[in-house]
Amino acid sequence: MSETLYYLLIIVGVLVVMLSIAALLIWYERRMLALWQDRYGPNRVGPFGLMQVMADMVKIFFKEDWIAPFADKWVFIFAPTIIVVAVLLGFAVVPFAPGIVVADMNIGLLFFLAMSSLGAYSILLGGISSNNKYSLLGSLRGAAQVISYEVFMGISLMGVVILSDSFSLVKIVEAQKNMWFVIPQFIGFVIFFMAGVAETHRAPFDLPEAESELVAGFHSEYSGMKFGMFFVGEYLGITLISAMIATFFFGGWLGPSFLPPIVWFFIKTFAFITLFILLRASLPRPRYDQLMSLGWKILLPLSLLNLLATAAIKLAIGG
Amino acid sequence: MVKITIDGNVYEVDPKDNLLQTILSLGLDLPYFCWHPALGSVGSCRQCAVKKYSGEDDQKGRIVMACMEPVVDGMRISVNAPEVKDFRANIIELLMTNHPHDCPVCDEGGECHLQDVTLMSGHNYRRFDFNKRTHNNQYLGPFINHEMNRCIQCYRCVRFYREYAGGRDFNVFASRNRVFFGRYEDGVLESEFSGNLAEVCPTGVFTDKTYKQHFTRKWDLTTAPSICHNCSLGCNIIAGERYGTIRRIASRYNGKVNGYFICDRGRFGYEYVNSDQRIREPLRRGQASGRLEPVDRETVFNYFKKIFDKKPRLLGIGSPKASLESNHALQMLVGKENFFAGVSAVEHQLTLKAIQILKEGPAKVPSLRETEKADTVLILGEDVTNTAPMLTLSLRQASRQKPMELPIKMNVPTWHEMAVLELMQDERSPFFVLTPTETKLDDIATAVYRNAPDNIARLAHAVAHYIDSAAPEVKNLTEEETELVKQIAENLLSAKQPLIVSGTSCLNESLLEAAANITRALKKRQKSPWIFLTVPEANSVGLALLDEKNLNQAIEKALSDTYETLIILENDLYRRIEEDKANKLFDAFKHVIVLHYLHNSTTDKANLVVPVGPFTESDGTLVNNEGRAQRFYQVFYPGDSVKESWRWLGQIMTEHGSNAGRALSKLDDFIEALVQDFPELKAVKELAPDADFRIAGQKIPRQSHRYSGRTSMNANVNVSEPKPPEDEDSPMSFTMEGYQGVPPSPFISRFWYPGWNSVQAVNKFQIEVGGALRGGDPGLRVFEPQADSDAPYYTRIPEPFKPQKDQWFAIPVFHIFGSDELSIYTPGVAELAPKPYLLLNQKDAESFKGEKVNVLLDGKQIELPVKTSSSFPSGMVGIPIGLPEMKIFKFPNWVKISG
Amino acid sequence: MFSILRSLWLTFLHTFHKRFTIQYPEEKAKLPARWRGRIVLTRDPDGAERCVACYLCAAACPVDCISLQAAEDETGRRYPEFFRINFSRCIFCGFCEDACPTYAIQLTPDFELVEYDRQNLVYEKENLLISGPGKYHDYNFYRVAGYAVGGKGKGEAQHEDPPIDIHDLKP
């Protein structure tokens, strides 16, 4: 009984914490961007402008819930929910601290990959159902981008799996007690990070949205809370990828014991979230063909080489 | 047709015009100042320089003035060669050395030919460091403002004023860069066409003074094509509005009617539209107060409903100043048998006679502009300067036709103005002025004959008899008269294109008959004469075509029959018939309903006054003196109360179901109804495309594309802009949105073309410069003379006029400023209008001692100062007609004088 | 690759830069004299109205928010009978100032034009006219123009000869 309650508590806790973080990220990103652009950002509502989140939420909830008359109504409504649900499901396997994990599956890593690729449907359906040229272009870009980068996202993680001998995230974290995997798997880390940026279609790989050419791309026609779902989905995605980087390459909750493990986990995660924002603040968007050739011509061979090398070394040492 | 090469392109052109005119007709741009299509070439401004090559091998060429160059076959010229462009830029720079830094306060700015040409020639920076010459200005009367500093010495003004319009009190003085254009001393310009100086002057030396009182730039005016309502000629005008008031009238080129010019009454006599006497809301006579009190629209309809509920008999009185549509709408409302033209019996009778003569033929009826081509002119009784002013201008051109034969014989091109003038010297076409009073055309007349209208008619009949002995004979002419008859007849017979001008102003039917007889006699002698008759008002002919019954008959009918309600359309009956008769008419009715735009003696009698729009606030059709139907369009939307007469009447008919199943809401409905009821007026429907017409799906805008202040002009009332009014009656919009190119000719509301902001842009609207507008000049004849008719001679010869001992024969004397009912509301017109007087022969006047005499008119005694004339026929008195201070009397009439 | 890292690093260094934001309204911005804010009508050095009601500002205005009516006083001097700017439409483009041939209409460094009622943003001449010459201290249109007004007859403007006596017979 108490165990069920405990899990329920963890589930609810994870949901609440993750959604709050996603909401706070709106404020956090604006403040950080402003900082790097020598501005202040939102600083008027509440202390440090923190209540800006509330204001934005109130605004977005009260916006007119408008559906374009030419849109495919039900798909249009359904599409933004997919990304939120898929990403939230991805959090199910994240080990926040010892014992604090919703489901420590033995195939946790595969589950994460599966969930992150489900997000592509959201973009695809959202763009197609909008019945708008720009949205369609955006969703096609999104689909192609997610599918392409997913390939070596998985492959880049295989080095981690080889080193830890497990698909379970808890095991992977525990396997890093002596050395974070970022050292042996540096190439894997770089590739995973880049793929992560592409998966969440964040700047500089935000080609599905690309305001300057596609007028917000797949979500051009969205407004109100439906747009808000895409928005939240995106921040949840950032958090998930950051959490995964911390888990796979930076030892998850591991850290000196003067801080509790869960704090270490969040510090690491936030560091990567900040890195995401720094990327957006500094890098320009590549052309679409550049994005594709980077993926297929450089990152894919590199990840395969990395896997090959890791496997060979593992065989040579551990064999 | 000959071939010429301009900058390497070969064009096929007609060699009749000079090179400048040809280049402009081809649609090319070439700057010019002194040349004007109506004034010819003098080559004084040196601005239209082009390069002319002597042959195929000539690479160098030489600079010539295009306006002085005839077009010859195989000619090779360049408009854009660098040397000529340079030359033109230098010339404009020199012309501009003395031009002041005035544009912001100059009324010409924005529609200035000098600005256009300066820009076109590429002069944009003043290098001349020395002082500018200045001039003192003159007072030139209430119409024209003088700002001599701005002059660039093109000589157009003096050529127009003296040579074209025959003015004598305006000239050029001093020499070199000191030349001065003006009068020898301050004073009112005498010419009735002085307003055209504002359009002829390429810069702002002469500008419209009435426009200055409420000045607005050309681009800010809401303009619509309109027709002048101030006389029967139907000159085409453009009326411009801003902030709800009419700001100015400009001439609208029509190659068949007025050409480039209009008279001062037409140009300046518009201010009644802005008058504080305007009726802007419905008024009902209060039962308690007995005064007219403002009411709302519903009250008007309720008033009519109450009347209609009693199944009443309505009596309607139309107006010769109102449109065909309005008159016909009233006719539909009251029924044809109860509709009467609002014109006195004698006037209506004369108009009907004029129409009959024009219809019967066989003389052709020239258009106003065509009369310029006549080479012998006989004027019978009509003082055209005062009754149909623009005809004077045309007849002055006709007086050059005969002497023009000399330059043609000597191979001098007719456009070569200086050479032509040198050859002509003082030669004039045979020109006979037979009128009771002095006229402004006497100076060009071969012979002048001053006598009573009956005697003029007798002389004219004698001319007819001289030409064809089958025409009735006139006995007892004096020797001098017989000699004059012979001279006139011989000249008419030897003329290529004789023109007989007469009209209704003498109120003498015999004159019209005599004019007809002369044309018929000439026709018998294988000549093809022209006849041109003037009528009293802008739509006199149209009204006469709608109904033959007159106002005097209406009074008889009203007194003998049982009517309760009288409806009067845009008419002041106290200006049509004598006061006591009008009073009798009003007394016979229980309800008097007046549709009018101004308070006057008739609205004083009304129980209900319905506010209707004058010509600037209505659409409609007028028929001018030659039977030409012309459409005028509403300029601006005056608000919800003021409506066109036909719209009020149509709505009333629709509400009470007396519209006989016809839709009566838009202009097109009324035109359709009119043409159904009067099939002979079918041309009215073809005057202009109907309200559904669009160019590329767009309406034609009344405002220019630069129209300013749209989000501010009403902001003091309400900061939210009102919805712009829509026009369901015409394909024109009240806004600046729509097709901004050259519209079909009936819808030309401004002359503007890229690079041509001044009125000279008219060149771009014509098929060829000086010719018809693109798509043909607007306006269609509703009747044409029967060319092969064999109408018999009129045989009634009046008795010779005999002076009587104690009675004087009174005739009306017309004044261009003063005789018209509406133009007098313009302060300048009122200023130039004469004070009441009595015109007497000098000898006759000697029998009276004082300077004032008492006249017994229609049983009323009035005191009038005496004005004498040595040529005015003895035994008669002339009384100015229509002056605001004077009542309407019965003319012609015998009166008693004591003094 | 290196350039990307360099970009990231340089952007990151901005963490320690001073911020440009001015904390309006606690802190006021220092506006240059040619700032395009609230429009005024100025007077010439003699204290008379500069505007000659030439309508060029109204014509230049892209949102058509200026309307006026020309009038003339007894000495011939032109002035606007009314002059109205609808600031709720104005986009402060400064075209009116550019178009003005007399330096009458000028934009000033005042942008605080907030009203609760839009109707209050309609400014009439009495709201627009200031008592000084604004940015241009010396210019007086009527001293340059050949137009005679009160206090200045023909030939008395700059670069003008005295009026010609046409009765003079000298060549």
Which chain A residues contact residue C19 at CB under 8 A? Answer: 38-40
Q: Name the strands in the sheet holding B236-242, side by side, starting at the edge strand that comes first in the sequence.
A: B222-227, B236-242, B245-251
CA gap B134, B567 in Å, rounded: 60
Say yes or no for a CB contact (<8 Å) between C70 and B147: no
pLDDT exceeds 80 at position A102 = no
Instruction: Write the DSSP string, A207-225.
Output: TTT-HHHHTTGGGTT--HH
Residue C40 bridge partners (DSSP):
C106
Tokens 């924005």 belong to residue? B110
Over residues C105-152, the pLDDT tens digits come to 999 999 889 999 999 999 999 999 999 998 999 999 998 888 888 888
Measured CA to CA in angstroms, residue B225 lies from A154, B615, C19 at distances of: 78, 11, 63
pLDDT exceeds 70 at position C87 = yes
**Residue B443, helix vs strand vs coil:** helix
Q: What is the CATH number of domain B283-343+547-677?
A: 3.40.50.740
**Residue B27, helix vs strand vs coil:** coil
* pLDDT for position A1: 57
**Residue B180, helix vs strand vs coil:** strand
Partner-chain residue, chosen from B109, B110, B708, that has the shortest CB–CB distance to C61: B708
Partner-chain residue, chosen from C69, C72, C86, that has the shortest CB–CB distance to B715: C86
Nearest-CA distance C13 → chain A (Å):
8
CA gap B517, B505 in Å, rounded: 19
State yes or no: chains A and C have 3 or more CB pairs below 8 A: yes
Residue C11 lies in a domain: no
| Neighbour-count burial of C169, counting CB atoms closer than 10 A to its CB (0-12 exposed, 13-18 middle, 19+ buried) | exposed
Chain C residue with minimum CA distance to A275: C8
Intervals of chain B under pLDDT 50: none
Which chain A residues contact residue C11 at CB under 8 A? Answer: 36, 278, 281-282
Q: Which residues, other chains included, contact B11 with Cβ-Cβ below 8 Å and sequence gap of 6+? A: B3, B4, B5, B26
Chain A residue with minimum CA distance to C4: A283
CA gap A85, A107 in Å, rounded: 19
Range of the domain at C125: 31-144
SS (H, E, C) B349-404: HHHHHHHHHHHHCCCECCCCCHHHHCCEEEEECCCHHHHCHHHHHHHHHHCCCCCC
Q: CA nearest B428: which of B448, B404, B394?
A: B404
Chains near C with 3+ CB pairs less than 8 A apart are A, B
Nearest-CA distance C70 → chain A (Å):
47
B4: its two tokens: 């010429």
C-beta pairs of B165-171 under 8 Å, 24+ apart in sequence: B165/B191, B165/B193, B165/B196, B165/B393, B165/B396, B166/B191, B166/B392, B166/B396, B166/B440, B166/B443, B166/B444, B167/B191, B167/B193, B167/B194, B168/B443
Residue range A4-21: average pLDDT? 85
Q: CA nearest B150: which of B188, B200, B231, B206?
A: B206
CA gap C45, C104 in Å, rounded: 11
Partner-chain residue, chosen from B105, B176, B219, that has the shortest CB–CB distance to C78: B105
Chain C residue with minimum CA distance to A43: C23
* Between A1 and B798, residue with greater pLDDT: B798
CATH number for the domain harbouring residue C50: 3.30.70.3270
Chain C residue with minimum CA distance to B135: C163
Q: Which residues, other chains included, contact B287 with Cβ-Cβ below 8 Å and sequence gap of 6+? A: none
CA gap A302, B446 in Å, rounded: 113
Contact criterion met (CB below 8 Å) for B14 and B1: yes
Residue C150 lies in a domain: no
Cβ atoms within 10 Å, residue B468: 17
Q: CB distance from C86 to chain B under 8 Å?
A: yes
Chain C residue with minimum CA distance to B134: C163
Number of structural domains in chain C: 1
**Residue B772 backbone phi and psi in degrees, to 5:** -75, 155
CATH 3.40.50.300 fits B2-80, yes or no: no
* pLDDT for position A319: 53
Say yes or no for a CB contact (<8 Å) between A282 and C8: yes
Which chain A residues contact residue C15 at CB under 8 A? Answer: 35-36
Say yes or no for a CB contact (<8 Å) between C19 and A282: no
Measured in Å, how far apart are chain B's first and last C-alpha atoms?
71
* pLDDT for position C166: 83
Question: Which residue type does B450 have?
Answer: R
Torsion on CA atoms B349, B457, B444, B446, rounded to nearest 10? 160
Cβ atoms within 10 Å, residue C151: 11
Contact criterion met (CB below 8 Å) for A150 and A241: no
**ipTM of the modeled complex:** 0.89
Torsion on CA atoms B379, B382, B386, B391, rounded to nearest 10? -40
Say yes or no for a CB contact (<8 Å) between B215 and C70: yes
Nearest-CA distance C145 → chain A (Å):
51
Mutate: best of B96, B131, B134, partner C, most C CBs <10 A: B134
Q: Which residues, other chains included, contact B855 with Cβ-Cβ below 8 Å and sequence gap of 6+? A: B838, B861, B862, B863, B864, B877, B879, B895, B896, B897
**Residue B316, helix vs strand vs coil:** strand
**Residue B14 backbone phi and psi in degrees, to 5:** -85, 125
Nearest-CA distance B129 → chain C (Å):
8
Say yes or no for a CB contact (<8 Å) between B176 and C88: no
Q: Which positions in chain C have a beta carbon within 8 angstroms of at least one beta carbon in chain A?
A: 4, 7-8, 10-12, 14-15, 17-21, 23
Measured CA to CA in angstroms, residue B609 lies from B72, B294, B615 at distances of: 66, 9, 18
Chain C segment 107-136 residues within 8 A of B by beta carbon are 118-119, 121-122, 124
pLDDT exceeds 80 at position A211 = no
**Residue C41 backbone phi and psi in degrees, to 5:** -105, 130
Contact criterion met (CB below 8 Å) for B185 and B255: no
Residue range C43-62: average pLDDT? 93
Q: Which residues, other chains included, contact B741 with Cβ-Cβ below 8 Å and sequence gap of 6+? A: B695
Cβ atoms within 10 Å, residue A18: 21
Chain A residue with minimum CA distance to C6: A282
B790: its two tokens: 């064999």
Residue C140 lies in a domain: yes
Q: Which H helix or E strand runs over A316?
A: helix A300-318
Nearest-CA distance C7 → chain B (Å):
49
**Residue B409, helix vs strand vs coil:** helix
Which chain C residues contact residue B274 at CB under 8 A? Answer: none
Over residues A126-140, the pLDDT tens digits come to 888 888 888 888 888
pLDDT exceeds 90 at position A68 = no
* CATH fold of the domain at B348-536: Dimethylsulfoxide Reductase; domain 2 (3.40.228)
Residue range C140-167: average pLDDT? 88
Residue C154 lies in a domain: no
Say yes or no for a CB contact (<8 Å) between B711 and C86: yes
Chain C residue with minimum CA distance to A274: C12
Over residues C17-40, the pLDDT tens digits come to 888 888 888 888 888 988 999 999
Q: CB distance from C98 to chain B under 8 Å?
A: no
Chain A residue with minimum CA distance to C18: A38
Q: Which H helix or E strand runs over C125?
A: helix C125-128
Nearest-CA distance B763 → chain C (Å):
25
Chain A residue with minimum CA distance to C24: A44
CA B578 to chain centre: 28
B133: its two tokens: 């010459």
Q: What are the sequence ranges of the domains in chain B?
A: 2-80, 283-343+547-677, 348-536, 808-898
Question: Which residue type does B425 have?
Answer: Q
Nearest-CA distance C19 → chain A (Å):
4
Which chain C residues contact residue B100 at CB under 8 A? Answer: 145-147, 157
CA gap B794, C117 in Å, rounded: 79
Question: Which residue type does A189 have?
Answer: F
Contact criterion met (CB below 8 Å) for B251 and B260: yes
Half-sphere exposure of B247 (CA within 13 A, CB side): 22
Contact criterion met (CB below 8 Å) for B238 and B799: no
Say yes or no for a CB contact (<8 Å) between B217 and C147: no
Chain A residue with minimum CA distance to C19: A38
CA B465 to chain centre: 35
Partner-chain residue, chosen from B101, B130, B136, that has the shortest CB–CB distance to C163: B136
Q: Which residues, other chains included, contact B427 with Cβ-Cβ below 8 Å and sequence gap of 6+? A: B402, B403, B406
Say yes or no for a CB contact (<8 Å) between C8 and A283: yes
Residue C129 bridge partners (DSSP):
C41
Contact criterion met (CB below 8 Å) for B571 and B321: yes
Over residues B754-784, the pLDDT tens digits come to 999 999 999 999 999 999 999 999 999 999 9
Partner-chain residue, chosen from C7, C10, C20, that has the shortest CB–CB distance to A38: C20
| Neighbour-count burial of C152, counting CB atoms closer than 10 A to its CB (0-12 exposed, 13-18 middle, 19+ buried) | middle
Say yes or no for a CB contact (<8 Å) between B100 and C161: no
* pLDDT for position B282: 94
Nearest-CA distance A168 → chain C (Å):
33
Question: Which residue type does B185 have?
Answer: E
**Residue B732, helix vs strand vs coil:** strand
| Neighbour-count burial of B583, counting CB atoms closer than 10 A to its CB (0-12 exposed, 13-18 middle, 19+ buried) | middle
